[in-house]
């Protein structure tokens, strides 16, 4: 009676190990809904992988992790003065590495560290073509001046958050992130980060491919690249993952029978299938099926097509085919329409469901 994420344990763990071995210095990203697997589970898995650091999205996620993973905790979201301190979250501040993207925030942390008599660990984020967070080039000199003697803040490197890897270059997209990284790291201000200690030579990067990382490692032998990887690690081998919902009920209907919250009438003979998984799990309406042109719609109406009746594709598959929602998903279940003639699964049968893992709340995660 549930939406379940099934994980082929051996295959998944082999993929995790392989990914970490291929990308030395990899930092697992553990944030949000834990990529569908849960923050707590990923934290324990990171411990098992033996990495020295994990990255969380926001400081709110630290309490879920810090007792399950015992290394460093990098917070990806840049520090702001209005967020709680590690002490307030009852987390050892010596384990937390803050990302800093504004000069005034760096100054505030420097002040905090000096007052506490213990430097705050920071990574300086440089603004990239993402234009999300980070210091613009003109602020780098002042930022390094604030870092200064390292008494208030201890520099743990520079961070670059890049757009997603380019899979299909167009005239408007760059085929590789290498030139952008090169341009940022060639800033003479960043040439000698080693003067702030060995850890300051770390370059925390996101969304670089393995080959881009190899090229950059050759171009910048003095830098230690730390790829921050979430999707490619936890969800990188989709073949190890399978999502199912369960058939809970099945009702034969004739054309014209009414059903559902909205009293719709069945456009043709078939079966209404009630399956587990609804809006509370993140099951949403997918793109409408069929063509949008008037002519195509008219043809579809003539055929008695379900798309003409306004039915929308669901993420559930029956008999290898993605089926249509009979109406928008309910909170915990969804109603599908199986046209007459197609095989009708029995109550209790599991159906494959296509979901966005990062936006789905599973009832259960089963790792074999």
Ligand X SMILES: *Cc1c(COP(=O)(O)O)cnc(C)c1O
Closest-CA residue to 137 (of 103, 106, 110, 109): 103
Residue (76 or 243) nearer to ligand X, CB: 76
Applying the rule CB under 6 A, the residues between 272 and 311 that interact with ligand X are: none
Nearer to ligand X, 7 or 42 (CB): 42
Cα 193 versus chain centre, distance? 31
Q: Minimum distance from CB of 346 to ligand X (Å)? A: 38
- Alpha carbon 208 to chain centroid, angstroms: 15
- Return the H-helix or E-strand segment holding 210: helix 210-219
Considering only 206, 246, 334, 360, the residue that binds ligand X (CB under 6 A) is 206
Is there binding between residue 228 and ligand X (CB under 6 A)?
yes
E-assigned strands of 262-346? 264-265, 270-276, 312-318, 321-325, 333-339
Binding to ligand X in span 150-179, by CB under 6 A: 161
* Closer residue to ligand X, CB minimum distance, 77 or 314: 77
- CA dihedral sign, ordered 32, 34, 35, 37: negative
Give the binding range for ligand X (CB under 6 A) out of 111-119, 224-232, 261-269, 330-338. 224-232
- The one segment of 211-219, 230-238, 257-265, 339-347 that binds ligand X by CB under 6 A: 230-238
Site string for ligand X, 16-45 (x = CB under 6 A): -------------x-x--------------
Taking the complex as a whole, the smallest distance from the CB of residue 223 to ligand X amounts, in Å, to 17
Q: Between 216 and 351, name the residue whose CB sits nearer to ligand X.
A: 216
Q: In sequence order, which residues have a C-beta less than 8 Å from that of residue 188 and are 6 or more positions away?
A: none
- With tokens 């599991």, the residue in question is 350
Contact flag: residue 134 with ligand X (CB under 6 A): no
Q: Three-state SS for 198?
A: helix
> Which CA distances in Å does 346 have to 68, 246, 255, 353?
41, 10, 22, 16
For residues 334 and 280, the answer to whether their CB atoms sit within 8 Å is: no
Total of residues contacting ligand X (CB under 6 A)? 11
Q: Which residue is nearest to ligand X (CB)?
A: 230
201 touches ligand X (CB under 6 A): no
- Taking CB under 6 A as the rule, does residue 230 contact ligand X? yes
Q: Based on CB atoms, which residue is closest to ligand X, 15 or 161?
A: 161
Residue 172 Cβ vs ligand X, minimum distance, rounded to whole Å: 21
Measuring CA to CA, which residue among 333, 326, 331 is closest to residue 310?
326
Residues contacting residue 156 through CB under 8 Å, at least 6 positions apart: 97, 121, 122, 123, 199, 200, 202
Residues 37-96 that bind ligand X (CB under 6 A): 57, 76
Q: What is the DSSP letter of 101?
A: -
> Is residue 231 near ligand X by the rule CB under 6 A?
yes
Please identify, among the stretches 147-155, 182-190, 229-237, 299-307, the one whose residues bind ligand X according to the rule CB under 6 A: 229-237
Judge contact between 364 and 354, C-beta under 8 A: no
Residues that bind ligand X (CB under 6 A): 29, 31, 57, 76, 161, 206, 228-232
């Amino acid at each position: 009676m549930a939406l379940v994420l099934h994980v082929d344990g051996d295959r998944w763990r082999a993929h995790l190990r392989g990914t970490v071995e291929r990308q030395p210095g990899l930092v697992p990203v553990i944030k949000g809904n834990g990529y569908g697997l849960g923050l707590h589970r990923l934290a324990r898995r990171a411990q098992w992988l033996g990495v020295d650091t994990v990255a969380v999205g926001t400081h709110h996620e630290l309490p879920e992790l810090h007792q399950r993973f015992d290394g460093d905790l990098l917070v990806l979201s840049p520090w702001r003065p209005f967020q709680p301190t590690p002490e307030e979250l009852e987390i050892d501040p010596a384990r937390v590495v803050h990302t800093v993207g504004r000069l005034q925030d760096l100054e505030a942390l420097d002040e905090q560290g000096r007052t506490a008599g213990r430097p705050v660990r920071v990574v300086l984020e440089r603004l990239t073509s993402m234009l999300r967070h980070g210091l613009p080039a003109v602020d780098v000199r002042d930022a390094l001046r604030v870092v200064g003697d390292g008494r208030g803040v201890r520099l743990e490197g520079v961070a670059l958050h890049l757009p997603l890897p380019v899979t299909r270059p167009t005239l408007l997209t760059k085929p590789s992130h290498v030139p952008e990284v090169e341009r940022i790291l060639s800033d003479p201000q960043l040439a000698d980060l080693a003067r702030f200690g060995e850890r300051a030579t770390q370059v925390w990067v996101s969304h670089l491919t393995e080959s881009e990382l190899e090229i950059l490692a050759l171009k910048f032998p003095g830098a230690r690249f730390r790829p921050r990887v979430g999707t490619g690690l936890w969800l990188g081998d989709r073949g190890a993952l399978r999502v199912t919902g369960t058939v809970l009920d099945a009702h034969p209907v004739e054309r014209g029978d009414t059903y559902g919250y909205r009293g719709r009438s069945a456009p043709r003979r078939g079966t209404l299938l009630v399956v587990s998984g609804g809006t509370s799990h993140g099951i949403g309406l997918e793109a409408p099926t069929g063509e949008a042109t008037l002519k195509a719609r008219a043809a579809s109406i003539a055929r008695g097509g379900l798309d003409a009746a306004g039915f929308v594709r669901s993420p559930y598959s029956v008999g290898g085919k993605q089926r249509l929602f009979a109406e928008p998903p309910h909170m915990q279940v969804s109603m599908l329409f199986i046209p007459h003639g197609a095989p009708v699964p029995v109550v209790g049968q599991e159906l494959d469901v296509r979901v966005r893992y990062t936006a789905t709340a599973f009832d259960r995660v089963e790792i074999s």
